[in-house]
Amino acid sequence: MPRLYVLVLSGGAGTRLWPLSRRDRPKQFLELLGEGSLLQDTVDRVSEFVPSERIFVVAPPEHRALIHEQLPDLRADHLVVEPYPRGNAAAIALAMAALAAFDPDAVVAVLPSDHVVGNRAQFRKVLIAATAAAERGHLVTLGITPERADTGFGYIEAGEKLDLDSPIEVRTVKRFVEKPKKDAAERMVAAGGHYWNAGMFVWRVEEILRAYERHLPRTAKAIEALRDAIGSPRYESVLAEVWEETDHTTVDYGIAEKAENVAVVPADIGWQDVGSWGRLAEIVSKADNWASGDLVAEGAHGNYIWAPGKTVALIGVEELIVVDTPDALLVTTKERSEAVKTIVDRLKREGGEDLL
């Protein structure tokens, strides 16, 4: 794929996997599946066809060292630092400016760093199709084939087929649907032609910058002011100045839902969102009980135990999730694991900040 660049999004606090994920080590840095971190896996899965000099990462300053540690091949000037979180629209615009300075003709795949993709070969085919559409001027989203009527994702309704010579059909987008109610989700899944919005995009840098100008002009203006400073000593101070002028929104709300030239590639790529311990347990739990190490179980079923370096003994327990870290121990059920959010909120309020 000539000229395909990758921008990896590494923002986000990821407290939903507390107590393993922490402010200084959100989930993308964790080795959750035992084969490198999610971030490393994200880069690894494109590295067969995207050389390292065409990989960019955008992240907050506090994770700079960790990113270089985990991605030693990443070029120092390809790590774009967002001064503080403003939603991913600003972060992506900032990275697009860096990319445009590097290669104004770039086509770029924007990929979150905390997803699981099971089918790499298909993922590559999807990127080829998306690149073909992006080169024709489309802002392309990857639409995940829905496995169930999940109400935790936004949906994309596909429209007309584009006339492209690509291995997978690409379609126009009829509409974006925000996280639906259960019955609406069921109708969309039953109808077909609807996909989960996983926040993965492919577009020409030129095209997305034009879209910013149209739909998020404040952000476009702020970033425009920065472009001349890229590579110069003024960069940091100009960035500090313009950053607060950017729109505080996401690229989905701010651009994708408004633009006319959005397209979708159906992506049947074994995609998984590691959004909670319960989801992670589903992803890895092929066995009846899953433990990070040695396991001895008696009358125990469906448990997921994260306790690295320890032998785990289970007796008479079912559907539990236990996460053991050096300073905190979480004990919950698969059903209730999303309530970790409540625990994190309470720790914030009740003086447990050092555990976050």
**C-beta closer to its own copies: residue 81 or 314:** 314
The β-bridge partners of 264 are: 141, 171
Asked if 22 and 55 count as a contact pair (C-beta separation under 8 A), the reply is no
Instruction: Tell whether residue 21 is a contact of its own copies (CB under 8 A).
Output: no
CB of 196 within 8 A of CB of 155?
yes
Q: Is 34 in the site for its own copies (CB under 8 A)?
A: no
Of the two residues 168 and 343, which places its CB atom closer to its own copies in the complex? 343
Would you list the DSSP string of 43-81? HHTTTTTS-GGGEEEEE-GGGHHHHHHH-TTS-GGGEEE
329 is a contact residue toward its own copies (CB under 8 A): yes
Is residue 342 near its own copies by the rule CB under 8 A?
Answer: yes
Find out whether 296 and 311 touch, Cβ atoms under 8 Å: yes
CB of residue 240 to its own copies, shortest distance in Å: 36
Report, in Å, the least distance between residue 315 CB and its own copies. Answer: 4
Q: Is 312 in the site for its own copies (CB under 8 A)?
A: yes
Report which residue type is found at 185: A
Give the end-to-end CA distance of the chain in Å, rounded to a whole number. 41
Amino acid at 11: G
Q: 105, 331, 348, 353: which one contacts its own copies (CB under 8 A)?
A: 331
Task: Kindly state the smallest distance separating residue 144's Cβ from its own copies, in Å.
Answer: 28
Q: Does residue 314 touch its own copies according to CB under 8 A?
A: yes
CA distance 119 to 313: 34
Least gap, CB of 272 to its own copies (angstroms): 22
Query: Quick one: which of 67, 239, 242, 347 contacts its own copies (CB under 8 A)?
Result: 347
* Interface mask toward its own copies for 104-123; x: CB under 8 A: --------------------
The DSSP annotation for 214-244 comes to HH-HHHHHHHHHHHTTTTSTTHHHHHHHHHT
Give me the 265-294 binding string for its own copies, x by CB under 8 A, dash otherwise.
Answer: -----------------------------x
Burial class (CB within 10 angstroms; exposed 0-12, middle 13-18, buried 19+) of 64: middle
CA 242 from centroid of its chain's CA atoms:
25
In this chain, which stretch among 23-31, 188-196, 253-261, 329-337 interacts with its own copies, using CB under 8 A? 329-337
Task: Tell me which of 248, 346, 348, 353 binds its own copies, using CB under 8 A.
Answer: 346
Kindly report the number of other CB atoms within 10 A of residue 165's CB atom: 6
Residue 108: other Cβ atoms inside 10 A: 27
Which of these ranges, 43-51, 95-103, 232-240, 328-336, lies near its own copies under the rule CB under 8 A? 328-336
Q: Which residues of this protein are in contact with its own copies, per CB under 8 A?
A: 18-19, 294, 296, 298-300, 303, 305, 307, 309-317, 320, 322, 324-333, 335-337, 339-340, 342-343, 346-347, 350, 352, 355
